Amino acid sequence: MEKILMTPGPTTVPERVLRKMAEPVIHHRTKEFSEIFGEFSERLKYVFQTQNSVLTFPAAGTGGLESAIVNMFSEEDRILVVCTGVFGERFAEIGRIFKLKVDTINIPWGNCVTVEQIKEKFNENEYKGLIVTHNETSTAIVNPIKEIGEFMKEEEALFIVDSVSGLGGLDIQMDNWNIDVLITASQKALMAPPGLAFVAVSEKGWESANKSNLPKFYWDYKKARKVLENKNPQTPYTPAVSLILGTNEALKMIEEEGLSNVFKRHELLAEKLRKETKTMGLEIFTNANCLSNNLTAYTIEQEGRAAAIKSRMEKEFNIVIAGGQAHLKGKMIRIGHMGYVTEEMIERTVAALKQCL
C-alpha cells in the first residue's frame, strides 16, 4: 500500500506535481523560464490574496522568517512576538540573534492569543513590529489573524505573519487583513515538496525595508523585487527550477478547485477526523476555540505509547504521523490534514489508528 504523509509537513505530493518535476531541467536565464516564473508569481498572488509581489527564495520556511527580520528592522528595534508554541519561539530567537529588543506574549500551549492581550502590550510599549504565527503546528492552534489585523490597521508597527503551515489550507487575506509581511513555504498546504519559501510585502513594509540596516545579501528583498518586476521576471540567484515547476502545477490545482472550496475541504476533513477519533476516546490537546483545520493534536499520557503508535502506523500501515515537540515530545501525536488530503486518506488513517490503539 502506498505510503501517505499525514503529518504537519512535509505533506503528500500529488502525482501530477511529481510528474511535472520529472520534466527536463530548463535553464533559468531564458525567456522560457521567465514566462513560467511570471505565471507562477501571479498564481502566488492568488493564494496570498494580495496585489503585492510575492518573492520566492530557495529555502525552508525558517529562511522566510529570518528574511523578514533582516529586511524589516534595524538593530535595537523593539518588536513584539506572540509565542503559542515552537515556531513563535523560533521567530523570537531569530530576532534576538539580530540584536533586536524582543518582547513576547507567552501563551499556554494549546491556546491562541487574544487581541486584548496584544493591545495591553501595545499600551505598555512602542513597537516597530508585531509577529504572529498563523497556524502553530506544535500545538495545532490557529490564531485570530483577521481580528488582530483590524487592530493593527491603526498602528504604525508592522504586522508580520508566519503562515508557513497555514496558507493554502486556511483562509488568510493579506490585503484585506492589513498584513505587512506574509510568509509561507512549499511543503505544507501548497502540496509541493520542501525547498521554497515565499514572502509578500505591503507598501508599508517596503518603506521599512528601505530603512533597514541589518546585514543581508541572499535575503535582500529589494534585489529580489527588482528582478521579479522586470519585463522578463527572474530571481537574483539560481532558483530551484524543478521545484518551481512542481509548485506551479500545485498552484494550478488550487486554482482549479477554487480557494473557497479548498478551505471548505480542509474544514470538512478536520471535522470528519475529529468525529471519528472522538469515538476512540482520544483527547484533543488544543483548546476548542483555537482548533486548526490543517492538523489535530492528541494528548497521549502513557509513557512510550505515542512513540509506539507512531512507529506502528508507519511500519504496518504505511501512514506517517507526527509526535510532540519540545516538552510535549512523547506526550502527543499530531495528524496533519492539509494540502493534498482526501476523505479516503482520512478513513485509512482512522482505520489504522483504531488498530494501533
CA distance 347 to 7: 15
Residues of the chain with CATH 3.40.640.10: 15-255
What's the confidence (pLDDT) of residue 1? Answer: 82
What's the whole-number mean pLDDT along residues 228-234? 96
CA distance 201 to 52: 6
Instruction: Please report, rounded to a whole number, the percentage of residues in the chain having pLDDT higher than 90.
Output: 99
Average pLDDT, the chain: 97
Does the structure show a pLDDT above 90 at 31? Answer: yes
CA distance 329 to 138: 10
Q: pLDDT (tens digit, 9 = 90+) per residue, 71-99? A: 999 999 999 999 999 999 999 999 999 99
pTM for the predicted model, two decimal places: 0.97
What's the whole-number mean pLDDT along residues 103-108? 98
Given the C-alpha cell 511543503, which residue does it identify?
187
Fold of 4-10+258-356: Aspartate Aminotransferase, domain 1 (3.90.1150)
Q: What CATH code would you report for 15-255? A: 3.40.640.10
Q: Are strands 319-320 and 196-201 parallel, antiparallel or unpaired?
A: unpaired
Q: Is 312 annotated as a binding residue?
A: no
Does the structure show a pLDDT above 90 at 229? Answer: yes
The radius of gyration computed from the CA coordinates of the chain, to the nearest angstrom, equals 20
Q: pLDDT (tens digit, 9 = 90+) per residue, 291-326? A: 999 999 999 999 999 999 999 999 999 999 999 999
What's the confidence (pLDDT) of residue 135? Answer: 98
Does the structure show a pLDDT above 90 at 277? Answer: yes
Residues of the chain with CATH 3.90.1150.10: 4-10+258-356
DSSP states of 50-78 as a string?
A: -SS-EEEEES-HHHHHHHHHHHH--TT-E
Q: In the structure, what pLDDT confidence band is assigned to residue 44 with cuts at 50, 70 and 90?
A: very high
What's the confidence (pLDDT) of residue 198? Answer: 98
What's the whole-number mean pLDDT along residues 136-152? 98
